[in-house]
Amino acid sequence: MNLTLDGKGALYDQIARALKLEILEGRIAAGSKLPSTRVLATALGVSRKSVLQSYDLLCAEELAIARAGSGTRVAKAVPMRKASSEIGSKPQSQYAARIDSLPPVSLGAGHLRGLKYNLLYGEPLVDSALFHSWRRKLSAAALRAGPSYPRAGGYLPLRRAIADYLGRRRGVICDASEILIVGGTQQALTIVERTLLDPGDRVVVEDPHYQLAVHSLLAHGAQLVSVRTDEQGLVVRELPKGKTRLVFVAPSHQFPSGVAMTLARRLDLLRWAAQGESWIVEDDYDSEFHAGEGSLPAMRSLDLADRVIYVGSFSKTLFPSLRLGYIVCPRSLRDHFFKAKMLDDLGSPALEQAALATFIQSGQYERHLRKTVTEIAARRHAIVEALQRLAENHIELGPHRSGMHFVVWFRRLGFDRLDAFIERAKSVGLGLHPVHPYYRHMPARPGLLLGYAGLSPAQLKTAADLFARCCEGM
Amino acid sequence: MNLTLDGKGALYDQIARALKLEILEGRIAAGSKLPSTRVLATALGVSRKSVLQSYDLLCAEELAIARAGSGTRVAKAVPMRKASSEIGSKPQSQYAARIDSLPPVSLGAGHLRGLKYNLLYGEPLVDSALFHSWRRKLSAAALRAGPSYPRAGGYLPLRRAIADYLGRRRGVICDASEILIVGGTQQALTIVERTLLDPGDRVVVEDPHYQLAVHSLLAHGAQLVSVRTDEQGLVVRELPKGKTRLVFVAPSHQFPSGVAMTLARRLDLLRWAAQGESWIVEDDYDSEFHAGEGSLPAMRSLDLADRVIYVGSFSKTLFPSLRLGYIVCPRSLRDHFFKAKMLDDLGSPALEQAALATFIQSGQYERHLRKTVTEIAARRHAIVEALQRLAENHIELGPHRSGMHFVVWFRRLGFDRLDAFIERAKSVGLGLHPVHPYYRHMPARPGLLLGYAGLSPAQLKTAADLFARCCEGM
């Protein structure tokens, strides 16, 4: 017998573990006799006591049997640890079963990673000055936030800073007490679902939609109804009759179509929600990156019936690894949302909240936003201008005044040739991502979701040039 | 009419908001005529277009009605925004209803805050050197962690560092791929519940128990069975017959009794779980603070049937505001746990994970632990020695070799005089916390949960002295 100890933990534990491995993998046969404790102790150069203890452990686990006078034997029926391959991951709950049947996610498709001109949505605008400044803020915040459990609802100065910002910039008038700090939009949705939905409750999502929101809703057991959007946003008159618990919308910048919901539609939707006592989740992502005459008022600012759950995050305006966002809670839901957050994780980490509070209060956040908006606009202009100039007879551009991406639709290319087109682009270093996976009802023509935040204007011009060349060749 | 604009958002929006307020608060009567747009524009010194737009907004919200030739009137039936007091927080789901019926939490009772000698459990050991070093690590980590979305399962170097640490210190042999990073023990439990429990499923908790774990289970709809613990830990033979989904235990340091589960009981429980295909959540909190001959092996290290879900956190060993913990996942549950974490919040913040990885890998974490263990032991010794010397004929000490708290039981004092005793202590600056709220079945005698990590040895001696004097007077 050739035992190898792994040096981890108590000696008797190491010996027992090594023996276990030999037994379980069949190198010591079931029913066979183990060496005497004296022999094994000498062989391993350890005390007899350690070997004795390890044998006791094996007996306690019923892997071995000690008999007075006849030493210790390996048990005849050894409980085999199941090999990895044998373990089915049988879902243990309805939630787990629903997770198993979720459709695949397209966002961040890995096979195009590493391409020089990857027009991937969700790549942040990397700003080294921001990072530098953020490090200083964090360092200072470590002293201020303190070591104790944070308030589950969030660090109060941060909630005040957000309330103030929302009033000034989005016309959302609210108090710090109504703001709940969460770990990004995804957690906001988790909390909303837990508090508002029973499995089987009806929820309306826009078509097209943000996939991870839909996944979260499906995992929670929501009965999803997908409602069409047009160039004015969600088609409110097509909303289902009868009880709908929740509508999930992104009125500032529909994802991924880029449409901004018109004021008339916003008011229609608010009226519909007030009449049917439905809740509206307003995901106000990307509202900060609007070009031109400024964005429309947030639905929350128009909401008299207190039906809007306003959700924002700092993933796009600062960086995604921050994992901070917030919910502006309707008054009647506030207590439930706060308790759900507490029960979920006792609150988000305090340090980053303190750093972010300073960042907003000092005005640095809005200076950073202005700088980012300018830079994003330059990138947007570079690719839009180049595509319009070089490829407009091949593609039609969707709305592109806001955000960090837009959609282009092929004028002539059919779905049958889309994969070949994407492959051709890949061969010249251009990463392209189809938009149809975001649609519940297949669009009439193939299109692409072009994310441009991660590339410089010069790179984007080259990307547009490559794109045009791919078009010519088809 | 005297309108005050709040300066927030677009001008037409400000005007509409100010008018709304006048209407909703009854200062402009229902049915009355609004000033002409020309008159109001002059009065406010704004363009007529802005006033027109604000009237359009009021009409769209059905607060006003425009009639050709007769101007704009306030609607006759104004939809009143409900006053705060009128809004019942009627629960909107079964989850919300369950939240509403949770029992109160005793931990961190606020009414004794500010007392000089508050023996409150959960106060961290504040270490300014640690904070200083942590700030440097964070600052360096900001550059390394990067701005992108973190891996939902956690930052890989941190998971490797934890796997390595657990093998070395707790005999838990696992791979980084089995470790899921979560936002503390509370979120670990949320993920376990979502993945393993349907509402109504049976879950065993220890009596006494950690309240927030029980709350989380109740909120999730678990059918709780409370099983007695004795001086050897959970009484395994009293576990219920028939299907039990999950058992929640803290074998290193039962909360709040302080009992360490014996090896025999651990093995009994493992056998019970393997036979009944139940899952065991092993909350290994406080195992780091064991005094004397070292702690018993973690249940996970003895588990051949892959039924143990091992949970650890850094709230006690570093500081609670960090909000980082981990699950060592059984192989058959790994994928579901990872997906549940992703759907919950897309992953924990990257920066602190990167800082913590360096902290562990560099050996600083274990140096810090050794220092803390020594300091905690000094504090423990100070209060234990003083209480034994001064008050042993009044109280009996529960297990006190580990952790940051212990329980004392009154020898003679009855429940009828407990409140008076606590009040008397409060009057001399001593904060005492009863232990019976943590019990499902009322203990025979009153007892106190004494937390000592937040006070110095000298303060603890004074506290013990005050305690003895309170006893003498009863």
pLDDT number for residue B109:
58
**Is residue B128 scored above 80 in pLDDT?**
no
- Distance from the A269 Cα atom to the nearest Cα atom in chain B, whole angstroms: 11
- Distance from the A325 Cα atom to the nearest Cα atom in chain B, whole angstroms: 10
What does the mean pLDDT of chain A come to? 87
pLDDT number for residue B293:
53
Rg (CA), chain B: 29
**Is residue B248 scored above 90 in pLDDT?**
yes
Among candidates B13, B301, B331 on the partner chain, residue whose Cβ is nearest the Cβ of A84: B331
pLDDT number for residue B73:
85
In A267-306, the residues whose Cβ lies within 8 Å of chain B are 267, 270-271, 274, 279, 294, 297, 301-302, 304-306
Q: Best residue in B55, B93, B189, B202 to probe A by mutation, most A CBs within 10 Å?
A: B93
Using an 8 Å Cβ cutoff, are A92 and B195 in contact? yes
Q: Cβ B346–A274 below 8 Å, yes or no?
A: no
Question: What backbone torsions phi and psi does residue A430 show, to the nearest 5 degrees?
Answer: -105, 120
- Distance from the B412 Cα atom to the nearest Cα atom in chain A, whole angstroms: 36
- Distance from the B399 Cα atom to the nearest Cα atom in chain A, whole angstroms: 24
Residue A8: closest C-alpha in chain B: B168
Q: Cβ B344–A344 below 8 Å, yes or no?
A: yes
Q: Which of A303, A239, A296 is nearest to A270 (CA)?
A: A303
- The label of the residue with tokens 């996942």 reads B329
Q: Which residue has the higher pLDDT, A355 or B139?
A: A355
Euclidean distance between the first and the last CA atom of chain A, given in angstroms as a whole number: 68
C-alpha B405/C-alpha B123 separation (Å) is 10
pLDDT number for residue A232:
95
Q: Give pLDDT tens digits for B307-366.
A: 999 999 998 888 777 889 999 999 999 999 999 999 999 999 988 899 899 999 999 899
Query: Residues A3-11: contacts with CB within 8 Å, 24+ apart?
Result: A3/A40, A3/A43, A3/A44, A5/A44, A6/B167, A6/B173, A8/B167, A8/B168, A8/B171, A8/B173, A9/B167, A9/B168, A9/B169, A9/B170, A9/B171, A9/B297, A9/B301, A10/B171, A10/B294, A10/B297, A11/A46, A11/A50
**Is residue A143 scored above 80 in pLDDT?**
no
Using an 8 Å Cβ cutoff, are A95 and A215 in contact? no
Question: How, if at all, do strands A233-234 and A223-230 pair?
Answer: antiparallel
Q: Which of A40, A160, A118, A39 is nearest to A425 (CA)?
A: A118
- Distance from the B138 Cα atom to the nearest Cα atom in chain A, whole angstroms: 7
Q: Is A138 on the interface with B (CB under 8 A)?
A: yes
pLDDT category at A394 given cuts 50, 70, 90 is: very high
Complete DSSP assignment for A146-189: -SSPPPTT--HHHHHHHHHHHHHHH-----GGGEEEESSHHHHH
Q: Is A26 on the interface with B (CB under 8 A)?
A: no
Query: What's the whole-model pTM score?
Result: 0.82
For residues A113-137, average pLDDT:
80
C-alpha B461/C-alpha A397 separation (Å) is 75
pLDDT number for residue A58:
81
Element (H, E) at A327: strand A325-328
**Top-confidence range, A127-131, A317-321, B361-365, B389-393:** B389-393
Q: B392: alpha, beta or left, given left = phi > 0 and alpha = psi -120 to 50?
A: alpha
Q: What's the one-letter identity of residue B460? A: L
pLDDT category at A85 given cuts 50, 70, 90 is: very low
Q: Give pLDDT tens digits for B142-178.
A: 767 766 777 899 999 999 999 999 988 888 989 899 9
Cβ burial B305-344 (10 Å sphere, 16+ → b, else e): bbbbbbbbbbbbbbbbbbbbbbbbbbbbbbbbbbbbbbbb
The most distant pair of C-alpha atoms in chain B lies apart, rounded to whole Å, by 94
Q: Give pLDDT tens digits for B16-71.
A: 878 877 776 667 777 788 888 888 888 888 888 888 888 888 887 667 888 777 78
What does the mean pLDDT of chain B come to? 87
Q: Cβ B131–A150 below 8 Å, yes or no?
A: no
Q: Cβ A322–B123 below 8 Å, yes or no?
A: no
- Which residues of chain B does A348 touch, with a Cβ-Cβ cutoff of 8 Å? 183, 323
Reported ipTM: the value is: 0.81
Q: Is B199 on the interface with A (CB under 8 A)?
A: no
**Is residue B424 scored above 90 in pLDDT?**
yes
Complete DSSP assignment for B364-402: HHHHHHHHHHHHHHHHHHHHHHHHHHHHTTTEEE---SS
pLDDT category at A88 given cuts 50, 70, 90 is: low
pLDDT category at B81 given cuts 50, 70, 90 is: very low
Q: Is A148 on the interface with B (CB under 8 A)?
A: yes
- Which residues of chain A does B336 touch, with a Cβ-Cβ cutoff of 8 Å? 89, 91-92, 96, 99-100
Q: Give pLDDT tens digits for B187-208.
A: 999 999 999 999 999 999 999 9
**Minimum mean pLDDT range among A326-335, B30-39, B220-229:** B30-39
Determine the length of chain A.
474
Q: Is A190 on the interface with B (CB under 8 A)?
A: yes
- Distance from the A474 Cα atom to the nearest Cα atom in chain B, whole angstroms: 35
